[in-house]
Amino acid sequence: LLRLAVLGSGAGSNLRAIIAAISEKKLKAEIAVTLTDQADSGFRKIASEAGLPALHVDGGANPHRLSEAAQKEIFEHLERARVDVVVLAGFMRILKEPVISAYAGRIVNVHPSLLPKHKGANAPQMALDEGAQETGCTVHLVTAEIDAGLILAQAKVPVHAGDTAETLHARIKVEEHKLLPQVLNEWCERGLPVRGAGAS
């Protein structure tokens, strides 16, 4: 079984979707470790309640960056847990060396937009500000350049009149919860998934 590390900072709904896919045998992988920079997050609660190792790493003062010590600490946790694939499920700090090189081609991120549109931290709001008719979510490989690695799969979501960033983001998450486990399972069964896999 492929050994996953799941990293997150927020509500943890994507982690919950991965856990559910594993227990429903739709995803033949195991979660070796979870790791968060937010000690009191929903993400960490979901991990603990599922009986998973739920590690907390102090990321440092800047909420979007990780201190050098934290970058190294995360690397050490991944090595210790003998992780095959690193899944960023709402991890809101930028992962850099040594993890980026050591796990090159084995780190996936889920992002709430149709990349390359709306990179960064407030993607659903960006789609609204632009007056977009549709947006969606993307699962992609993580490289040193933010939100720019190879796109593995995307799903589209309509923007409704009267949407707020919250209502739109909630609709996007419904698709993320299907797409991310699906891409991970393809990875487990067939190796690295191809561009467009699982797109609707």
Binding residues: 12-14, 65, 92-95, 109
Query: Which one of 64-72, 106-114, 151-159, 186-194 is the stretch in contact with ligand GAR (CB under 6 A)?
Result: 106-114
In the complex with ligand GAR, the residue whose CB is nearer, 89 or 127, is 89
Tokens of 117: 């549109």
CB of 154 to ligand GAR, least distance (A): 12
Where do the DSSP E strands lie in 70-175?
85-88, 107-111, 134-141, 151-158
Residue 173 lies near ligand GAR (rule: CB under 6 A): yes
Residue nearest to ligand GAR (CB): 90
Nearest residue to 64 via CA among 122, 109, 25: 122
Which one of the listed residues 111, 118, 140, 169 is annotated catalytic? 111
Select 62 or 190, whichever has its Cβ closest to ligand GAR. Answer: 62
Q: Which stretch binds ligand GAR (CB under 6 A): 66-74, 75-83, 104-112, 148-156?
A: 104-112
Q: Is 111 an active-site residue?
A: yes
Euclidean distance between CA atoms 78 and 53, whole angstroms = 12
Q: Is 52 in the site for ligand GAR (CB under 6 A)?
A: no
Give me the sign of the Cα torsion angle 149, 56, 173, 26: positive
**Four-CA torsion 75, 40, 15, 93, nearest 10 degrees:** -50
Q: Are 150 and 140 in contact (CB under 8 A)?
A: yes
Chain residues binding ligand GAR by CB under 6 A are: 8, 10-14, 43, 89-90, 110-112, 121, 123, 173, 176
- Residues tagged active-site: 111
